[in-house]
Amino acid sequence: MAFDYDLFVIGGGSGGVRAARIAASQYGARVALAEEYRMGGTCVIRGCVPKKLMVFASGFPDAVADAQAYGWEAQIGGFDWSAFHTRLRAELTRLEGAYRGNLDRAGVDIHDCRATVAGPHEVRLADGRVISAKHILVATGGRPVVPEEYRGAGCMTSDDIFELQSLPRSILIVGGGYIASEFACIFNGLGVKTTQFYRGAQILRGFDEEARGHIASEMMAHGVDLRLGTDIQDIEARDGGTWVKPTTGPGEVFDKVLFATGRRPNSDGLGLQDLGLELGPNGAIPVDRYSQTAVPSVYAVGDVTDRANLTPVAIREGHAFADTVFGGTPRYFDHGIIPTAIFTQPEFGTVGLSEEEARAKGPVDVYCAAFRPMRGAFIGREERTMMKLIVCRQSDKVLGCHIIADQAGEMIQLAGVAITMGATKADFDRTLAVHPTMAEELVTMRTATRSHGD
C-alpha cells in the first residue's frame, strides 16, 4: 500500500519535533507534523524556558543586596513586568521560529492545525482532510489541571502565568511539587507576597527527604509563607480577588490563586480509543520501551505517555523512536538514571536514588555536608548549601547525588555523567578538588554521615 507519508507526527513539542527532524534529515523519511497551537510545546512556550527566564529575573534583588554588602554602591528599583513580558514574548517567538526552521530545513511538511488519529494508518486534520502514513507518532504532551470543584473560582494554572498583564500584589500557590515550589520562589523574588499551601507533611514528594526539608527551610527563610499540612476548605471570588478558607486557619483574600497540583496527558479526543487502545487512568497512552502502542503502527513519546515528564526525556524518546523505526537500529531510552534540576531558590540538582530509595535496596553509606558557602558567609548570609552522596556499601558505586546550592543544576549535569558511567566513591575520592568552590565538597567527604543496613 502506498502512503502519503512514512511518518505523521501529531504534536510540535520537543519530542515530536526531534523525532520528525531525525526521521526526515538523517533517514530520508517522508514526514509531516501537525501542531494546533505554537511550535515548541510546553517547554518553549509555557514551561521550562519562560520559567527559567523568570527565575533569572527574580534573583536580581538578592544579587544587588549582595553587591551592596561587597562594597558596591548598587540600587534596585521596582520590577517592570510589562518590559520583561514584552521581551519574554519576543524570545518565545524567536525560539518558535527556530523550531519551525529546523523542521523546514529537514524537509518536514507542517500543518498548523489540530490532527486526530482516524485509523491505524490515517490522520484526520481539522479541515477534514485525511492523510495516510505508514507510522503515526503521538507527541501531544500534557497540561496542568485545576481540581474540578475549583474550576469556577477564577484560579490560574502555570500556563496562565506567562499571559499575566501585570504582577499581582499577593498570590496563593496550591501544591507541593516542583512547579508549585519553583513559582513560589519566583513570585517571592519578584516582590509578590507569596503563600504556598501543601496538604502533605513536606514539599517535593518523591525526592530525597533530607533535601526536601532543607529546601523548605530555605524557602521560608527567604520569605515564602509555606504552610504544610494545609488544604483548601472553601474558595470564592470576593473583593476583587479570591477568598480562600484553609483547613488550618481563617479565610484570606489573594489577588491570584495558582493551582499546581497536577498535570494530565493531552490524549482527549485523539481517536485512540476508537482504535482499541485502552488509556491509563489519567489518560496516559500505554507504550512499551520502544514507545510503541498496542497498535503496531502507532507510537507515542513525551508527557502524553506519563513516564518521566521532562523535556530532555521526550527528546531522547523521540530520537530513539526515529533510530528504531527508520534507522534500523533498535534503541530505547533507559528511564533509570535521570539527572534533573528544580529551580527553587536555592536550586536543587539531583540524580539517581534518594537515601530512602537506596536503603530499601540494600546496605548504603550516606555522605552529607551542609555549610555556608564562601560567597554568602563573607557578607553574613545564613543560607546553607547541601551536598549529598548515597553509596552502595557492597559495590562502592555512587547511587545518588543531591546538591542544594546556587547553580546546582549546572553541577548536577556533570555529576550525572559520572553516576551514569557507574562511578564509585573511590573514583570521587581520587578526583582532585577544585578550590575554592562549593562543588569540591563532593570529592572531599571521606567519612560517612550515617549508614543503613548490615
What's the pLDDT tens digit per position in 353-370? Answer: 999 999 999 999 999 999
Domain CATH for 391: 3.30.390.30
Same domain (yes/no): 320, 379: no
Same domain (yes/no): 76, 202: no
How far apart are alpha carbons 408 and 386 in whole angstroms?
Answer: 10
Torsion 116-118-123-129 (CA) sign: negative
The predicted model scores a pTM of 0.95
How far apart are alpha carbons 77 and 190 in whole angstroms?
Answer: 11
The per-residue pLDDT for 167 is 95
For every residue of 88-101, DSSP letters joined together read HHHHHHHHHHHHHH
The per-residue pLDDT for 150 is 83
Same domain (yes/no): 251, 270: no
- In the block, cell 530525597 appears at 208
**Radius of gyration (Cα) for the chain, nearest Å?**
24
Cβ neighbors of 241 (< 8 A, separation 6 or more) are 170, 253, 254, 255, 256
The per-residue pLDDT for 194 is 98
Report if residue 339 sits inside a domain: no
Catalytic residues: 435
> What are 265's three cell numbers?
496527558
Same domain (yes/no): 247, 174: yes
The per-residue pLDDT for 10 is 98
Residue at a domain's end among 222, 241, 261: 261
Report if residue 334 sits inside a domain: no
Other beta carbons within 10 angstroms of residue 38's beta carbon come to: 18
Regarding beta strands 122-125 and 109-111, do their DSSP bridges make them parallel or antiparallel, or are they unpaired? unpaired
Low pLDDT (below 70) residues in the chain: none
- Domain residues for the domain of 434 are 346-452
Greatest CA separation for the chain: 75
Domain CATH for 37: 3.50.50.60
Report if residue 341 sits inside a domain: no
Cβ neighbors of 87 (< 8 A, separation 6 or more) are none
Report if residue 335 sits inside a domain: no
Provide the number of structural domains found in the chain: 3
Same domain (yes/no): 14, 110: yes
Same domain (yes/no): 43, 137: yes
How far apart are alpha carbons 136 and 122 in whole angstroms?
Answer: 8
Q: Which of 342, 414, 431, 423 is nearest to 390 (CA)?
A: 423
Contact indicator for 136, 23 with CB cutoff of 8 Å: no
The per-residue pLDDT for 263 is 94
**Partners of 228 in beta bridges:** 198
